[in-house]
Structure 1
Amino acid sequence: MKFCFLILAPAMLHANSASFAGDHVDEQPRAASIPLKSPAAKGFVPGGWYLEKSVEGDLNGDGRTDLALIIRQNDPKLVIDNDGLGRDQYDGNPRTIVVALKQSGGGYLRIAQNDQIIPVIGSATIDDPIDYAGDGSLTIIKGVLRLRLGFWASAGTWDMFNRTFSFRLKEARLGLIGYDNYYVHRGSGELKTVSINYLTRRKKTENGSIEDGHVPEVWSKISRKPLILFDDIGGGFDFDPDKN
C-alpha cells in the first residue's frame, strides 16, 4: 500500500532530531497544591492554572466514569510575542495531566499526575504538541488512556513525527502498555515507524520512504521489564523506547 503523506515546505535549517528547541522539561514547574480528592474536575485545578481539557471513561472497570484532565498554568508572562520567524505569539505555559477515579460514595480520587510528558514549546516556529490531534489528543476508550503528541517546525529542522502513549490501570497504578511513533524527514522522505506492545513484548518497526509502495514490517521481541508508570514517563519528546 502506498503511503500518502503531504510534504510540507522545507525548513530553513537542519537540526538533530534529538534536540528539539523549546522542550525544556527540566525547567517545568510542578502544578502545586493539586488535592488528592475533589467532588468535580475543577477542584483539581490549583490557583494560577486553568482546566484546558477534560475527558471521561471507565479506567478500572467498575462501571463508574473516571477523569483525565489537562491543566495549564496561566501566567501571562509566559505568553511570548515574536517578531521573527514563526507565529506572532506562542504560549510557554506548562501543562500537567491529572488522572482521577470516581469513588463509590461520590467525588474523585487522584491516582496519577504527570508534569513533563506534554513538552513546553519555547519557540514560535514549533507547533503546539497537542494541537495536531485536536479532540483526540487525550482519550479514555475501553479502559485505555491515550495521549497523542505531534512535532512539526516551520524552521530549524526537517523532522516531523507523532507519538501515541497508551496506559492501562493495574493495581491502582497506570502503566505504559503501548507506544507508537510515526516519523518522517520532510527533506528526504525517510519514513520510520515503531509500534510496541509492552504486554505481549512485541515490537514492530518499518523503515523506508513515503514514496515506497510497500514498507516491510519487521517484528521482534523486547525484554520483559516492569511497566513504566504514568508518573515516571518524563518528557514525551525525549522518550526513547530503546532506553526505557
Structure 2
Amino acid sequence: MSFKQHFFHLSTAAAVLFNLTFPSQMVWSAPPNSADVQSFIPAKWKILEKVQGDLNADGLTDLALIIESTDPKNIVANENLGSNQLNTNPRQLLVLLKKSKGYQLASSNSSLPTEGDVESPCLEDPMGEGETLSIQKGLLKISFHYWLSCGSWYVTNTSYTFRYQNQKFKLIGFDSDDFHRASGDITERSINFLTGKVKKTSGANEFAESTLPEKVEWSKLKNKYSINLEQIKFNEHIEFE
C-alpha cells in the first residue's frame, strides 16, 4: 500500500507526513548567497508559488518559494484510474532570507509531493487547491490538501508551522482536519510542539446542524520533538505520540 493510500484509509488518526531521521537532500547545488533570486532556480525549473514576509525579525522582506522541474521525461502515461498522464516532476521548497546585498539560502526541502503519483493515480495534486505557502506574524506555514477522485471518501487538510530560531526553521505546530464526503463528519487535530499539547475536536458535520456542542479532547505528547524544516519528508508519514 502506498503512502497516499495508507493516508486516506485513516479516518480520525493523525497522519504526520515526514521522516524524523534523514534530512531531505537538495536536488541540485544551489548557491548559499546571491543578489538575484533567479540564481537559486536551476535551468528547466519554474516557480509554482512565492510568498514574502519577514521571517527573522530583521525588518527585511524574506522569500519562500516552491519550484518544480519541467522535464518532459517525468510526464508519464497512466493506464489506471485517474488522469491519462501524470506529472511526476520533483518540487523543491526554498527559503531565502533577505540580506543587504541579495539573499541567503536559509533552508530547503525536496520532499514535497508531486502533482501526480504513480502509486495513487486518483490522488489530486496536494498543492493544487489554495495557497500552499503563507507567512504570517513571522511564521512560515506549509499546507496540503489531499483527496482522491476514487478509492476514498476522505478529504484531509494538513498544515505545518515553522519559526526561525537558532539559525533553523523549527516545527512548532501541526494541524490536520479530516472530512468524510459521504457522512459529512469532521475531525480536527492540532499539535503544539512548544507545549506538547494535543487538541482533538470532533462532532461537527458539514451537512447537518447539531444542537450538541463539539467534543474537545486534550492530551499530551508522550515524546518530545525537535524537528527542522530540512529534516521533514512531507511524502512520508509518522504518527506523533
Fold match, TM over 0.5?
Answer: yes
* Kept after mapping to 1: 8 A contact 2:115/2:124: no
Match of 2:172 in 1: 177
Equivalent position of 1:238 in the other structure: 237
Output one character per residue of 1:96-143: Cα deviation in whole Å (capped at 9) or x when no partner. 101111113x1111111111143563144211111122xx21011110
Q: Secondary structure at the match of 2:7?
A: coil
How far residue 232 of structure 1 moved from its aligned partner, in angstroms, is 0.8
1:43 alignment partner, one of 35, 39, 48: 39
Local SS of the residue matching 2:63: strand
2:106 is aligned with 1:107 = no
Q: Quick one: distance in 2 between partners of 1:216 and 1:19?
A: 23
What is the distance in 2 between the residues matched to 1:226 and 1:145?
18
Pair 1:151-2:146 in alignment:
yes
Residue in structure 2 matched with residue 58 of structure 1 by the alignment: 54
Deviation, 1:41, is 2.0
Shift of the 29–93 alpha-carbon distance from structure 1 to 2, 3 Å rule, reads farther
- 1:90 match: 86
What is the percent sequence identity of the aligned residues? 33
Once the two structures are superposed, residues 196-225 of structure 1 have per-residue CA deviations (whole angstroms, 9 ceiling, x without a partner) of: 111232211023462462321112232562
Alignment of 1:132-151 (within 5 A): 132-133=129-130, 136-151=131-146
The Cα offsets for residues 71-115 of structure 1, whole Å up to 9 and x where unpaired, read as 1111112123446533343311111101111113x1111111111
Task: Tell me the amino acid that sits aligned with residue 190 of structure 2.
Answer: S
Query: Structure 1 44/154 Cα, relative in aligned 2: closer, same or farther at 3 Å?
Result: same
Whether 2:167 is the aligned partner of 1:168: answer no
Instruction: Give a deviation string over 1:6-41, Cα, whole Å, max 9, x none.
Output: xxxxxxxxx643679xx9x99x98421211112122
Answering whether residue 7 of structure 2 is matched by residue 17 of structure 1, we say yes
Higher relative contact order (CA 8 A, sep 6+): 2
Using the TM superposition, give the Cα deviation of residue 60 of structure 1 relative to its aligned residue in structure 2, in angstroms.
0.5
CA distance in 2, matches of 1:119, 1:183: 21
Aligned to 2:14: none
Task: Report if aligned partners of 2:52, 2:61 keep a CA contact under 8 Å in 1.
Answer: yes
Q: 2:202 matched to 1:200? A: no
Q: Which amino acid counterpart does residue 137 of structure 1 have in structure 2?
A: T
Gaps of 5+ in 2: 11-16
Q: Is the 8 A contact 2:87 2:114 kept in 1?
A: no
* Alpha carbons 1:41, 1:67 under 8 Å: kept: no
The answer for the alignment partner of 1:5 in structure 2 is none
5+ residue gaps, structure 1, are: 1-14
